[in-house]
Amino acid sequence: MPRLAANLSTLFTDAPFLDRFERAAKVGFTAVEFQFGYVFEPAEIAARLSGTGLTPALFNMPAGDWEHGDRGLAARPARREEFRTGVGQAIDLALELGCTRLHMLAGVVSPGDDEETLRATYVDNLRYAAQFCATAGIQVLIEPISRESVPGYFLTGLDMAADLIDEAGEDNVFLQYDLYHRRFVGEDLVSPYLKHADRIRHVQVAGWPGRHEPDVGVLDWQAAFAALDAANYAGFVGCEYWPAGKTEDGLGWARPWLGGSE
């Protein structure tokens, strides 16, 4: 049975961010994730969490200037200081919220960049983030993202991510398995999951193509969910999709796993 987490950066977007916590709780979610909450005081977000009883499953470390195309900083040699400042900021927010998982985005790189330098920068930053997070009891998650979705993204494959985790050699770094991004690679979402199941600590879901509700499109989310159950996956499944209409109207697929809903 999947433990669903509403992604508050993509769901309930007809409401201001801080009001989305209540909307998620009202339809029966018991956990939430979000992409970025750094424009708010940590105490403001904490108040919404405690007011609703929602569990914070995960959020992203600062990822640079999103409006101008940044999608993370970890593989960006010239942005090392900014990356490190962001790790501290993310940990402060996580501690305030009681969140124990942070997603570290890799960033967009250019075809002319030196592969070895990018890799060394990424591993060095991953180690830095992992060691800093370990002092706060936090896990660092890394997620391969398809280049169809984010052109030039550094971290594209699960095998690559597993190799980078091995190279970093820190024991609080794990994989985030986003079914939407994996679907660009092929229809089979089960064998890649099983291959890396022992490292996967967070899953995300969206329909493919279109990134709407899981039941909009051809993504075999039921087979993937069955595989998670069979492997006794104990983490959350983040609903990181853009609703085709009003969020509440598209939750039929999730109804069996939403508690106390209207």
Ligand X SMILES: O=C(O)C(=O)[C@H](O)CO
Residues that bind ligand X (CB under 6 A): 35, 60, 103, 105, 143, 145, 178, 181, 204, 240
Reply yes or no: is the peptide bond before residue 209 cis, omega within 30 of 0. yes
Q: Tokens 């499944």 belong to which residue?
A: 237
- Closest approach, Cβ 145 to ligand X, in A, equals 5
Closest CA to 240 of 178, 186, 176: 178
Region 210-249 residues binding Mg ion, contact defined as CB under 5 A: 240
Q: How far apart are CA 134 and CA 132, in angstroms?
A: 5
Q: Is 33 in the site for Mg ion (CB under 5 A)?
A: no
Q: 37 or 250: whose CB is closer to ligand X?
A: 37
Residues known to be catalytic = 143, 240
* Alpha-helical segments (H) within 98-207: 115-134, 158-168, 179-183, 190-196
Among 204, 216, 247, 254, binds Mg ion (CB under 5 A): 204
- Closest approach, Cβ 204 to Mg ion, in A, equals 4
Burial of 171 (0-12, 13-18, 19+ CB in 10 A): exposed
Encoded tokens for 205: 């879901």
When CB distances to ligand X are compared, the closest residue is 35
- Given ligand X, Mg ion, none, residue 35, with its beta carbon under 5 to 8 Å by kind, binds ligand X
Q: 178 or 213: whose CB is closer to Mg ion?
A: 178
- Closest approach, Cβ 232 to ligand X, in A, equals 24
- Closest approach, Cβ 176 to ligand X, in A, equals 7
Q: How far apart are CA 78 and CA 162, in angstroms?
A: 25
Encoded tokens for 156: 């594209």
* Alpha-helical segments (H) within 42-114: 42-52, 80-97
- Closest approach, Cβ 262 to ligand X, in A, equals 29
**102-131 burial code (b ≥16 CB/10 A, e <16):** bbbbbbbbeeeeeeeebbebbbebbbbbbe
Q: How many CA atoms lie within 13 A of 7 on its CB side?
A: 22
Q: 213 or 240: whose CB is closer to Mg ion?
A: 240
- Given ligand X, Mg ion, none, residue 52, with its beta carbon under 5 to 8 Å by kind, binds none
Region 147-166 residues binding Mg ion, contact defined as CB under 5 A: none
Tell me which amino acid residue 77 is. P
- Given Mg ion, ligand X, none, residue 103, with its beta carbon under 5 to 8 Å by kind, binds ligand X
Among 6, 11, 178, 214, binds Mg ion (CB under 5 A): 178
Binding residues (CB under 5 A) for Mg ion: these are: 178, 204, 240
